[in-house]
Amino acid sequence: MKKIGFIGTGVMGASIVKHLLSAGYEVNVYNRTKNKTDELVELGAIWKDTPKDIAQTSELIFTMVGFPEDVEEVYYSDNGIFSGVQSGSILIDLTTSQPSLAEKIYKTAKEKGVSALDAPVSGGDLGAKNGTVTTMVGGDEEDFEIVKPVFTTFSGTLELQGPAGSGQHTKMANQIMIAGTMTGLTELLVYAKAAGLNLEKVLKTVGGGSAANWSLQNYGPRILKEDYSAGFFVKHFIKDLGIALDEANKLGLNLPSTQNAKKLYDQLKDNGNGDDGTQALIKLWWEK
Ligand code: NAP
């Protein structure tokens, strides 16, 4: 079994590491805030002091940090992955990040005699807990085949989409869809409440018809319980929509609905809700 290194043990990463440990892998872990690895170390993971240490002691190195700047840091800083990587390793970035950064990492990896895959996921905190995320991979087929048994320990759906950057492009397409389902869910509830309907009944009923979707099923009930904790941070969704709109711009596309969703989420963050979950969008109406 290949030795695994895992950098970034937040909401998603910690759950994924648990699946790797349950599957019997030896897992080295590193996170900027050390105590977020405590539970994992109790479960058998091994703490390493830097991304460089992870790279020196692991064959498959996963990263799942927050923003593209964080990805840059863990790969390229003085104590970063590339400063310690061993030939034959495969680097796998699960962070939702820029396709261009995925291509850059792939090129640097090749120059250093290693390989890289971009593999962002979808399915939320619950998908990570249940080991059923959808994993969208970019890179070389031979590397994908090597990592596949590891991906399947935490993925329900898994597909190689094409060369480096294709996983991130697929995730951007995914987020463009989610922009619609989150604004749709929010406006559905705002309308149904104003019309005096029973919101639980409405969610149950429309969730059985052609309006059914993941956001409604997973975030609808959280909104009714006034549970605005993250699942998926508002600040990360804004990052994703920004990347999606930049990429669309490069492709000469105008995506007005995605632009509008970003404006609404920017407003939510400006109100101080950047660390809430994305279901908090409804606060723009209900907390007025
Ligand atoms: P999170 O809880 O903030 O986790 C990110 C982790 O990375 C944090 O523990 C953070 O450390 C660590 N980190 C950041 N920069 C680092 C660095 N330079 N060195 C070492 N560790 C670093 O976020 P998350 O919800 O797990 O999301 C992670 C990524 O997955 C994001 O790109 C997000 O967009 C994407 N994603 C999230 C979901 C979801 O539903 N949550 C679903 C799909 C994709 P600190 O503890 O110090 O902050």
| CATH at residue 271 | 1.10.1040.10
- Assess whether 151 and 206 both reside in one domain: no
Residues 154 and 250 in one domain: no
Q: 144 and 181 share a domain? A: no
The confidence score (pLDDT) of residue 233 equals 98
Taking the centre of ligand 1 as the mean of its atom positions, its distance from the CA of residue 65, in whole angstroms, is 4
Q: Are 66 and 95 in contact (CB under 8 A)?
A: yes
What's the count of helices (H) and strands (E) in the chain, helices before strands?
A: 13, 9
Among candidate residues 104, 171, 262, 269, the one labeled active-site is 171
pLDDT in the model for residue 51:
98
**Token code pair at residue 158:** 């898994």
Report if pTM > 0.75.
Answer: yes
Instruction: Tell me what pLDDT residue 287 has.
Output: 87
DSSP E strands in 49-96: the ranges are: 60-63, 90-93
Pocket test for ligand 1, best of 9, 12, 64, 177 (most atoms within 8 A of CB): 12
The CA 125 to ligand 1 mean position distance, Å, reads 11
- The owner of tokens 């989420």 is 265
| Structure letter (DSSP) for residue 209 | T
Ligand 1 mutation target, pool 54, 236, 275, most atoms within 8 A of CB = 236
Query: Tokens 């002691």 — which residue?
Result: 57
Q: Write out the chain's pLDDT in tens, 288 residues.
A: 789 999 999 999 999 999 999 999 999 999 999 999 999 999 999 999 999 999 999 999 999 999 999 999 999 999 999 999 999 999 999 999 999 999 999 999 999 999 999 999 999 999 999 999 999 999 999 999 999 999 999 999 999 999 999 999 999 999 999 999 999 999 999 999 999 999 999 999 999 999 999 999 999 999 999 999 999 999 999 999 999 999 999 999 999 999 999 999 999 999 999 999 999 999 999 987
How far, in Å, CA of 19 to CA of 152, rounded?
10
Beta strands in 57-182 (DSSP E): 60-63, 90-93, 115-118, 121-122, 133-138, 155-162
Q: Name the domain count of the chain.
A: 2
> Measuring CA to CA, which residue among 164, 147, 169 is closest to residue 89?
147
Has 112 been annotated as catalytic?
Answer: no
Compute and round to an integer the Cα radius of gyration of the chain.
19
Tokens of 160: 């190689």
- In the three-class reduction of DSSP (H, G, I as helix; E, B as strand; rest coil), residue 161 is classed as strand
Residues with a CB atom less than 6 Å from ligand 1: 7-13, 31-33, 36, 64-66, 70, 73-74, 95-96, 121-122, 124-125, 231-233, 236, 240
Does 205 share its domain with 127?
Answer: no
In the reported structure, the alpha carbon of residue 208 is separated from the centroid of ligand 1 by a whole-number distance in angstroms of 33
What is the domain-level CATH number for residue 53? 3.40.50.720
Boundary of a domain, candidates 162, 194, 229: 162
Distance 95 CA to ligand 1 centre (A): 7
**Domain termination residue (choose one: 116, 147, 162):** 162
Question: Do 27 and 158 belong together in one domain?
Answer: yes
Give the domain range for residue 275. Answer: 169-286
Last residue of a domain, one of 106, 132, 162: 162
Q: How many CB atoms lie within 10 A of CB 280?
A: 29
Among candidate residues 15, 40, 28, the one with its CA nearest the CA of residue 153: 15
Cα(233)–Cα(219) distance, integer angstroms:
13
Q: In Å, how far from its chain's centre is CA 86?
A: 26
For the chain, the maximum distance between any two Cα atoms, rounded to a whole number of angstroms, is 64
